[in-house]
Chains A and B, each alone.
Chain A
Amino acid sequence: MKHVQDFKVKHYQLLNADNYILTLSSDTVIEATEPGNFAEIKVPDTPDVFLRRPISILNVNHEAKTISFYIKAIGKGTTKLGKLPIGSVVNIVYPLGNSFSISKRKNVLIVGGGSGIAPFIMLASKLKKENNNVTFLIGARTGDDVFLTEEFSKYGDIHITTEDGSLGEKGLVTQHSVFSGDFPFDHIYTCGPDPMMKAIASIATKKRISCEASLENMMACGIGACLCCVTPTVNGNQCVCTEGPVFNTKDLQW
């Protein structure tokens, strides 16, 4: 059930100058969340950030009553969220949106670009429990922008591409050697910049396998009321916040 809840800033983990993990804690029970769900975070004490910020849920720890978010500081809101004093109250609306499907005993490929890796720790953990064989393909601009590989390695093999070649193969994720030659995968999960997801979706089509993409449109309400975050689909314009953020790419007309 969707919920409005006050949390407190418990911990920051700085990944580099612009990227961090924000962990919030609560006195009360954390709602059940699924991989792909997101939260609408109210940026405290920042009147010029009017709307909440939709952020993918990185992980939830029900015992410790914590919820964490991987955030890239790109604007006033996401920058401010990275600089709150420990203990600050942060109000969030969550869990929002749909979630990734969880296959069983399949060979799955998870393709994440930039901050699009956020939903994949929860997803991989669930996929592993259902005896899937998980492989990650992570794309970033440079080696300094590749994060959470230790976490990912708990669940499967990792391939990396960087645009400058400083880590893994040089080039875009879509040019990675995993796509040439033997291709053992039954399903692809992807999240990242739109051009990357579109390219991955067209690879999936060519390989005749299914593909789910998590979209990241600008949102106001996050709960399907304002109809601002729509994406065109075979069923008409649909809200990324409610009918998504996860879509089967065969339904998208982006």
Chain B
Amino acid sequence: MVNLEVNIAGVKFKNPVTTASGTFGFGQEFEDFIDLNKLGGIFVKGLTLKNREGNDYPRMAETASGMLNAVGLQNKGIDYFINTIFPSIKDSGTEIIPNINGSVVKEYIEVAEKLNEVDSINILELNISCPNVKEGGMAFGVSCPSAIAVTSAVREVFHKPIIVKLSPNVTDITEIAKGVEGAGADAVSLVNTFLGMAIDAHTKKPLLSTVTGGLSGPAIKPIALRMVWQVYNAVKIPVIGIGGIMNATDAIEFMIAGATAIQVGTANFIDPQVSIKIIDGIEEYCKKNGVSTVSQLTGGLIL
């Protein structure tokens, strides 16, 4: 038997495989395909204080080994999540982790305060890295002072652990990671999408309504892996690895680079059962390689 359990800031996840915010809805969308209770956790679709309609169509463009999106945090607001969605998913047998967003610090604070009151929400993800909103979002995550300011502000009001989701669109991601660690983050998750764009050569028009959008998928994996390794070596808090994970081998590589857990994102669009296959594949790898506890993989890079 392999012990697949991992611990992030005192919260136990039954295995290191979680699903990335914005790629898994609220979990219910996948119930026909998998048992949600097998997952380590579900990072639900990004939430804001008020209802957001998101950006105009087209919001998506396929790229080489990946895709660009410009959804822009479409969601019905935190109250709708707490009162309507969460009651229907809280007993799914896996950790449900809200991903919170804001255009100003005050909005992050209000959302976090509302989540304080919700039983069985044990941890949240503070998103300072959404590239697809005009105000806030990534703007908080690309400068150290603003990343520290929003993390400190939420830390002050939220009584449970906080994971800060980092943007890769920075000169030195370790500086931001150290900054938010100092401001009270209990863990960091990285990376969010890379800012990119696509053009139709025939019409000379951008393929996304917002011109630029966030690049995800296996195209970004080597860069994400490098950033996870750098951040693992720079901070003492747990790192959650994200970026183009398509299979168990990819997930294991992120753990070897330093991730305590991982998020499966874009791969969910291609195979709605991929998250379960990754859990099974990690377990098999551990059995074959005599690894009794999956957390032993974390940071095991041999130099």
Could you tell me how many residues of chain B have their Cβ less than 8 Å away from some Cβ of chain A?
A: 33
Instruction: Return the chain B residue nearest A223 by Cβ.
Output: B29
Q: How far is the CA of A217 from the CA of B61 in the complex (A)?
A: 12
Known: A47-B65, A50-B65, A228-B71. A223 touches B30 (CB 8 A): yes
A218/B270 contact (C-beta < 8 A), A2-B32, A50-B66, A225-B24 known? no
Instruction: Point out the residue from A42, A225, A229 that lies within 8 Å of B23, measured CB to CB.
Output: A225
- Measured CB to CB, the closest approach of chain A to B8, in angstroms, equals 24
Closest to A237 in B: B53
The answer to whether A51 and B270 touch (CB under 8 A), given A220-B69, A225-B24, A227-B74, is yes
**B60 adjacent to A52 (CB under 8 Å):** no
- B contact patch SS: loop
Q: Mark B8-43, 1 if CB is under 8 A from A, else 0.
A: 000000000000001111000110110000000000
Looking at the complex, which one of B25, B33, B60, B270 makes contact with A224 (CB distance below 8 Å)? Answer: B25
Q: Which residues of B contact A237 (CB under 8 A)?
A: 53-54, 57, 74
Given A50-B62, A236-B53: A224 in contact with B29 (beta carbons within 8 A)? yes
Interface size class of A (residues with CB under 8 A): 20 to 34
* Most A Cβ at <10 Å: residue of B22, B25, B30: B25
Q: Contact between A4 and B273 (Cβ–Cβ < 8 Å)?
A: yes
A246 to B270, CA, bound (A): 23
Mostly, the A contact residues are loop
**Cβ–Cβ contact A50 & B71, under 8 A:** no
Given A2-B32, A50-B62, A226-B272 contact (CB < 8 Å): no
- Could you say which residues of chain B place their CB within 8 Å of the CB of A224? 25, 29
- Looking at the assembled complex, report how far the CB atom of B158 sits from the nearest CB atom of chain A, in whole angstroms: 26
For residue B24, give the distance in angstroms from its CB to the closest CB of chain A: 6
Q: Is the CB of B273 within 8 A of A220?
A: no
Residues of B contacting A42 in the complex (Cβ-Cβ under 8 angstroms) = 270
In the bound complex, residues from chain A placing their C-beta under 8 Å from that of B273 are 4
Whether the pair A226, B23 counts as a contact (CB closer than 8 A) is yes
Which of chain A's residues have a CB closer than 8 A to the CB of B32?
1-3
CB contact list, A200-254 vs B, under 8 A: 217-232, 236-237, 242
For residue A90, CB closer than 8 A to chain B, the reply is: no
Decide yes or no whether B156 CB sits under 8 A from chain A: no
A93 at the interface (CB under 8 A from B): yes
Contact B54 A227 (CB under 8 A): yes
Instruction: Verify B25–A50 contact, CB threshold 8 A.
Output: no
A228 CB contacts on chain B under 8 angstroms: 59-60, 69, 71
Q: Let me know if B74 and A223 touch, CB within 8 A.
A: no
The residues of A that contact B64 with a CB separation of less than 8 Å are: 48, 50
With A and B bound together, what is the CA distance between A218 and B60 in angstroms?
Answer: 7
B58 contacts the other chain (CB 8 A): yes
- Most chain B C-beta atoms within 10 Å of own C-beta, residue among A42, A226, A231: A226
Specify which chain B residues have a CB less than 8 angstroms from the CB of A93 in the assembled complex: 272
**Interface residue? B122 (CB, 8 A):** no
B24 adjacent to A50 (CB under 8 Å)? no
Q: Mask for B258-272, Cβ within 8 A of A = 1, else 0?
A: 000000001011111
Per the bound structure, the CA–CA distance linking A220 and B217 in Å amounts to: 12
- With the chains together, A218 CA to B61 CA distance in Å? 8
Contacts of B286 in A (CB 8 A): none
Chain B window 216-242, contacts with chain A (Cβ cutoff 8 Å), 1 for yes, 0 for no? 010000000000000000000000000
Q: Cβ of A218 and Cβ of B58 under 8 Å apart?
A: yes
Say yes or no: A4-B60 contact (C-beta < 8 A), given A224-B29, A225-B24: no
B63 proximal to A (CB < 8 A): yes
Contact of A230 with B67 at beta-carbon distance under 8 Å, contacts A52-B270, A224-B29 already known = no
A–B Cβ pairs within 8 angstroms, 15 of them: A1-B32, A2-B33, A48-B64, A50-B65, A51-B269, A51-B270, A52-B270, A218-B58, A223-B29, A225-B24, A226-B22, A227-B74, A228-B69, A229-B59, A237-B53
Q: Would you list the 6 A-B pairs with minimal beta carbon distance, nearest first?
A: A228-B60, A2-B32, A225-B25, A221-B269, A225-B29, A220-B269
Residues of chain A touching chain B, judged by Cβ–Cβ distance below 8 Å, are 1-4, 42, 47-52, 93, 217-232, 236-237, 242
Q: A51-B62, A237-B53 are in contact. List 11 more A-B contacts (CB 8 A).
A: A4-B271, A42-B270, A93-B272, A218-B58, A220-B60, A221-B272, A223-B25, A225-B23, A227-B22, A232-B57, A237-B74
